[in-house]
Chain A
Amino acid sequence: MRRLVLSDDSEFGRKYRYAFVFVVVVFLILVGRLVQLQVVYGAEYRELSRSNFLQQISLEAPRGLILDRRGSVLAKNRVAYNVFITPRFFDAKAFRKLQDLIQVPQIDLDYIQSKILLAEGRKRGFSLLALRDVPKEWVLILESNRDHLPGLDISTQEKRQYPNGPLASHALGFVGEVAAEDIARHPMEGYRERDWIGKYGLEAKLEASLRGRRGSLWRVRDARGRVKTGPEALRWLPRPFHVPPQPGYNIVTTLDADVQRATELVMAPFESGSAVLMEVDTGKIVSYVSKPAYDPNELSGRLTSVRASELYNHPLHPMLDKVVQGTYFPGSTYKVVSAIAAIEENLAEFEEYHLCKGWYEYGRSSSFRCTHAHGLMNLESSIVSSCNVYFYMLSERVGMDRMARYARLLGFGTPPGLELNHEKSGFIPTKQWYAQKYQEGFRIGHTLNSGIGQGDVKASILQVAQAYAAIANRGSVMQPQIVERITDYRGVTVQEFAPVLKRRLDFKPETWDLLSRGLDGVVNNPEGTAYRSRLAHLRVAGKTGTAQVRAMRREPGQDPEESRWRNQDHAWFVGYSPVERPQVVVVVLVEHGGFASKMSVAPALAILDEYFKINGAREEATP
């Protein structure tokens, strides 16, 4: 080996070693860093580099449909187009181009611009939802100008659609975007921003079934957002890279869309009120109306705060489900309770007559009045003519607590069991309750008022329907039912709901016979309170009622006409048909309707009439 010859000329000679050591040290630092990056943190960086190009796309699961009992669609989904913008690629030129192409509302333009400004310096791939639910024509225009609109993406989203508008809106409910508190409330259910969630009605009650499970798709995307396919890209995908979404279950309701439509048509003249039609043997609800209604399509979109407050603060309460959430004095419809109690407890004879002079004498007070002097009344005729005096007498005899017990047996004072829209249980007072509530304690006057469904008795129309269904079917208190079954998206039944018998009432046959005769007389006896509205071709039994409205003083500036209307009583009618073998019970409550016979009987009978007509026509159509 040649010796290293250090020339004297080279000044550098002495420092060769330092330089050598320096170079070695620097390269060792480089190699050390390489080891640190590639070996020590290698796995971590491998993951980070994967997260760069791997993108998980969440696949939305279509929400289940809501159908009526015959398969007609009440709630479905449609495709909505949302426009997303990635601010990093969306320059001023593209922004101008966007405005040239489509008529974007100024408010949206301002929103986009403010968001783009906010997004400056944020994450690179960040994209923002710029326009929601744009018309299809816009989509076509934007798609064909794609090259001039860098950073603009159109994605589809399922949106809830209620093809019949406000039809049965309180039963169906509506959906909304999940709010932060929804996500917090159900942390395990995997809700994400912009997911739909049932907010009201069946949509809320059956959220878990309707929702379905989201799927996912992994894909490879390069730094400019271009999707890569091909074997070298697929190599990086996790397995399985595609999990298809599971569509939500369909809900088959007990509603009948045709009858529902007819019912709503009948109820159309009334501003405010409710109606429910129910099968007496099963408790299945055929139509379900609360007025005024809202349009679930409007509520399932983006509601402006002005419109929302308009709806929620409306004097007629469109957002209140008056079938289960509205509670009223049941009025004369409640008289059956004391009648049943009196017969069952052997406190009254059928042929016992009592004279109605127009008022009931009790103590010094003469405030217990009747509509007019009915003359001599027995049990049956007092139901037919709705004589208050007779029922003051009867309820005094039965007593407060016994009356309460029979009311509860019929389903009053407890939730009816539909489990929809936070159903109210109404209220049945007892002696004890009065003793606690009032300083002067319980008085007989309380009993008298309860006997005619006033005072402190409160019931929803569904409870009245439930009680009269039990009367019509002679003793079976059925739980009201609105969900027939749950099926998967192909229509295969997943869960079936059989009618639920809440309670069997073993009353004497005479009790049922008397009620049947009396209620039949209400409509078909010339003395009956509903006689004038009876239909020639359809025999209906039922009971009218008036729920007194506590007099309200006229607000300053209120229209005197409106004030008069507001002080009118609510009108009730509950009826069932056919009388011999009852099939359905209907309850109509017209708010501020005034005297029952005028306002609620006719619509109730019309609803029954429509029901039988529609079903009759169907039977004829199918041999």
Chain B
Amino acid sequence: MFEPEGRFYLRIDWTLLMLIVSITGLGLLNLYSTSTSFSAPLFTQQIYWIFLGFSAFFITATIDYRFYDRVANVLYILGIISLVAVLVLGRMFFGSRRWLNIGPLVIQPSELMKIIIILTMAHYVHVSPPKTDEGRSLQELVIPAFLVGLPALLILIQPDLGTMMILLLVFFSIMFLLKMRIRSLLTLAGSALVLLPLIWTFVLQEYQKSRILVFLDPASDPTGEGWHIRQSMFAIGSGQLWGKGFMAGTQSQYQFLPAQWSDFPFAVWAEEWGLLGSVLLCSLYFVLIIWALRMAVTTRDRFASVICLGVGALYFWHTIINIGMVMGLLPIVGVTLPLFSHGGSSMLTFMIAAGLLMSVSARRHTL
């Protein structure tokens, strides 16, 4: 019933599939290394989530992507409703409301919003092409800005700064890569510069500010926030060229790494597998992102193109923010490493995102 209107070769994009499988596999291996000595059933949980994730991946990939174009508006509205619901009904954990219970399911609507916003943007770009050859003007950005601004604001209230940031980054990535007037681009960049100090003053919480300050000078607080960054850098650096070996990382095995399963798995990996393993993992992400970018250029329509762009941007920002953070290049933000981190919501989001790519990729060759 969801067959595309035109006719295609339906061919599996093996490169994409292999990339997804490799990253997930390495993540599982990495989790195994550090989780066996702990009583929590992290490893079995992750296997369960990977299974769920792949199911979501295949279902998403099977459905023709043009179906998503049709349901984008509905999904957007559902997404907004669930974000509002989470603020009203959600349960408080660690000082923020992010999770919603629906029967036995616990979902994190802000995670799903990442996917929905990509679809929404793709839909918008698809239905409203640039009015002039010069490109899109600033007025033409008002609607998409509002479409992103609303969920971003709702997520900020939770508060979940990391997700909000990712949402905005994905949005900006799509916007910058669209055909825009030069003037609009400059205005956009200018407004970002003005916004930054305002965000610093009014949006950021004290702990977030201190994280950023500590990031700028980790030695200033060697026991508090800086301790995480330093321990993570110890882990990565001490891996040296060849690594300390599988299940032999001292920083991770002896728990000197904070949140080593969700936020710092790259440090664990780099410690045990050294520069060689780290570069390998980075390469997988690099190829995946370039693959998505390339696909954005080669697809048949604007909707598919923006999906590829959005998914690529989602992977890109998550990857570089997470890796940059564990290497002390960026402040600590709770941003996961796609398909590699332990955790159900993140796994599901990136599997669905990859499923969208696959859906596009499998249908881009005309008969």
Contact = CB atoms under 8 A, between A and B. Distances in A.
Interface in B285-324: 285-286, 289-290, 293-294, 296-302, 305-306, 309, 316, 320, 323-324
Interface string A118-132: 000111100000000
Interface stretch (A2-10, A314-322, A367-375, A406-414): A2-10
Nearest to A54: B250
Nearest to B178: A11
Nearest to A4: B298
Contacts of B301: 7, 9
A48 B309 CA distance: 41
Interface string B215-237: 00000011110010001011111
Contacts of A43: 240
Given A30-B320, A33-B329, A50-B250, A23 B223 contact: no
Contacts of A236: 250
A210 B224 CA distance: 44
Contact of B238 (A33, A45, A123): A45
Contacts of B248: 232, 235
Contacts, number: 160
Given A30-B282, A34-B327, A222 B237 contact: no
B181 interface: no
Contacts of B274: 38
A34 B91 CA distance: 39
A52 B222 CA distance: 13
A221 B254 CA distance: 8
A29 B329 CA distance: 10
Contact of B298 (A6, A11, A223): A6
B179 A223 contact: no
Contact of A46 (B178, B237, B247): B237
Contact of A37 (B282, B305, B327): B327
Interface in A215-229: 220-224, 228
A303 interface: no
A39 interface: yes
A27 B282 contact: yes
Interface string B256-291: 100000000000001100110011001001100110
A34 B270 contact: yes
Interface in B319-366: 320, 323-324, 327, 329
A34 B324 CA distance: 10
Question: Majority SS of interface residues in chain B?
Answer: helix
Contacts of B224: 121
B275 A52 contact: no
Nearest to A38: B275
B234 A16 contact: no
B254 A228 contact: yes
B302 A11 contact: yes
B179 A41 contact: no
A9 B320 CA distance: 30
B240 A26 contact: no
A7 B236 CA distance: 43
Contacts of B233: 37, 45
Contacts of B254: 52-53, 220-223, 228
A312 interface: no
B251 interface: yes
B256 A46 contact: no
B125 interface: yes
B78 interface: no
B326 to A, nearest CB: 10
Contacts of A220: 254
B320 A11 contact: no
Interface string A9-42: 1111111100110011011011101110111011
Contact of B130 (A11, A35, A53): A11
Given A10-B296, A10-B302, A11-B125, A121 B329 contact: no
Given A12-B305, A50-B250, A7 B240 contact: no
Given A16-B297, A38-B274, A44-B237, A223 B327 contact: no
A346 interface: no
Given A9-B301, A52-B251, A121-B223, A34 B234 contact: no
Q: Which of B223, B224, B241 has the most CB of A within 10 A?
A: B223
Interface string B12-34: 00000000000000000000000
Interface string B181-225: 000000000000000000000000000000000000000011110
A49 interface: yes
A42 B256 contact: no
Contact of B236 (A4, A34, A44): A34
A52 B256 contact: yes
A31 B286 CA distance: 11
A47 B125 CA distance: 53
B34 to A, nearest CB: 12
Nearest to B297: A16
A26 B279 CA distance: 13
Nearest to B173: A19
Nearest to A222: B254
B238 A9 contact: no
Nearest to A16: B297
A342 to B, nearest CB: 82
Contacts of B102: none
A6 B297 contact: yes
B255 interface: yes
B179 A48 contact: no
Given A30-B320, A39-B240, A12 B297 contact: yes
Contact of B240 (A6, A42, A223): A42
B277 to A, nearest CB: 10
B229 to A, nearest CB: 12
A512 B41 CA distance: 98
A145 to B, nearest CB: 24
B126 to A, nearest CB: 9
B293 A16 contact: yes
A16 to B, nearest CB: 5
A191 B271 CA distance: 38
Q: Which of B234, B274, B286, B306 has the most CB of A within 10 A?
A: B234
Nearest to B366: A5
Given A19-B293, A20-B290, A52-B254, A34 B125 contact: no
Nearest to A126: B223
Q: Which of A9, A38, A46 has the most CB of B within 10 A?
A: A38
Q: Which of B130, B240, B247 has the most CB of A within 10 A?
A: B240
A35 B270 CA distance: 11
Interface string B120-143: 000001000110000000000000
A34 B278 contact: yes
A88 to B, nearest CB: 9
Given A9-B301, A23-B316, A14 B270 contact: no
B367 interface: no
A44 B230 CA distance: 13
Interface string B83-111: 00000000000000000000000000000
B297 A13 contact: yes
A303 B108 CA distance: 63
Contact of A48 (B238, B241, B253, B299): B238
Interface in A330-369: none
Nearest to A120: B223
A137 to B, nearest CB: 36
B17 to A, nearest CB: 19
7 contacts: A30-B324, A38-B240, A42-B239, A43-B240, A49-B271, A121-B224, A123-B223
Interface of B: 125, 129-130, 176-179, 221-224, 227, 231, 233-241, 247-248, 250-251, 253-256, 270-271, 274-275, 278-279, 282, 285-286, 289-290, 293-294, 296-302, 305-306, 309, 316, 320, 323-324, 327, 329
Instruction: Please list the 3 inter-chain residue pairs (A to B) with the smallest Cβ-Cβ separation, ordered nearest first.
Output: A45-B237, A222-B254, A49-B238
Given A33-B327, A53-B256, 13 more contacts: A11-B302, A12-B177, A12-B296, A27-B282, A30-B282, A39-B275, A41-B237, A49-B256, A50-B238, A52-B250, A52-B256, A224-B255, A236-B250
